[in-house]
């Protein structure tokens, strides 16, 4: 009876509280690249500079918004037996639209990204959000979820691309004109005229190392935040010490 009363006394979260929860999940707590570890193939393949990472991140964000919105709208009209093929068809349609638009207006950049734009169809993060969230929630929440999940993925793409470009080439925003046009011809930042670069950073192993460091930094930050929160609440932290042999215990040296 007490459990029922406590459940009834708990106020339901407001719409903005629900949106904030979705935002926290997408950007940090359930970041698809750093926590769920989904969509790592394009993330590791194209993040040798900022522009490539930003371009693929924007394309993925657009696909998430379109697919989440459409799937939320039809969620009550699709049988559970065929929902996965329907979701894949919707995602493939969105990817085809983005692919054709990039080929038309960003042709050089489209050629650089190559096969990784069509491969967005197979991104587990997109199908996962369609199945786990968009197919079970209203349009507004599905759009907010798609936006912040895509934004969290884009953030990791750009950050990893920036780290690899700075360490590997000593530059930042190189070839920005491919995405932003002639206005970005002079956006490239050179940190040193004599920098030789670190080849490992722009090669595939550099992507794995860089992503591993980002995941480690996030885990360290989360652990420190949890520890500080527990200390503020006065929650004791268990400290384990290695066991020592009993001083009264006799050790036999006989064979």
The whole-number pLDDT of residue 10 equals 60
The whole-number pLDDT of residue 84 equals 94
DSSP string for residues in 135-184: GGS-HHHHHHHHHHHHHHHHHHHHHHHHHHHHHHHSEESTTTHHHH-GGG
**What residues does each domain of the chain span?**
11-233
Cα–Cα nearest to 163, from 43, 82, 81: 43
In DSSP terms, which residues pair with 189 in a beta bridge?
Answer: 172
The whole-number pLDDT of residue 22 equals 94
Q: Kindly list the averaged pLDDT for each block of 10 residues, start to end, along the chain of length 255.
A: 50 86 93 91 91 96 97 93 94 97 95 93 92 94 96 96 94 94 92 88 93 95 89 64 50 44
Considering only CA atoms, give the Rg of the chain: 24
E strands, the chain, are 171-172, 189-190
8 A C-beta contact, residue 54 and residue 158: yes
The whole-number pLDDT of residue 236 equals 62
């Amino acid at each position: 009876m007490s459990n029922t009363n406590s459940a009834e006394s708990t106020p339901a979260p407001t719409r903005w509280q629900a949106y904030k929860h979705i935002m926290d999940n997408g950007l940090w707590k359930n970041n698809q690249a750093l926590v769920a570890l989904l969509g790592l193939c394009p993330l590791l393949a194209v993040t040798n500079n900022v522009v490539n990472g930003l371009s693929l991140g924007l394309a993925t964000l657009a696909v998430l918004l379109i697919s989440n919105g459409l799937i939320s709208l039809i969620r009550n009209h699709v049988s559970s037996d065929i929902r996965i093929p329907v979701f894949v068809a919707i995602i493939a349609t969105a990817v085809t639209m983005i692919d054709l638009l990039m080929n038309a207006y960003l042709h050089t950049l489209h050629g650089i990204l190559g096969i990784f734009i069509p491969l967005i169809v197979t991104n587990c993060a997109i199908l996962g959000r369609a199945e786990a969230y968009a197919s079970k929630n209203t349009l507004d929440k599905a759009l907010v979820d798609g936006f912040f999940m895509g934004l969290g993925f884009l953030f990791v793409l750009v950050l990893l691309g920036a780290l690899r470009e700075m360490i590997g080439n000593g530059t930042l925003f190189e070839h920005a004109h491919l995405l932003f046009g002639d206005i970005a011809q002079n956006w490239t930042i050179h940190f040193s005229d004599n920098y030789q670069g670190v080849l490992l950073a722009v090669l595939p192993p550099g992507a794995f190392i860089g992503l591993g460091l980002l995941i480690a930094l996030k885990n360290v930050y989360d652990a420190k935040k949890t520890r500080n929160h527990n200390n503020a609440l006065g929650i004791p932290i268990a400290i384990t010490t290695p066991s020592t042999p009993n001083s009264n215990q006799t050790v036999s040296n006989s064979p």
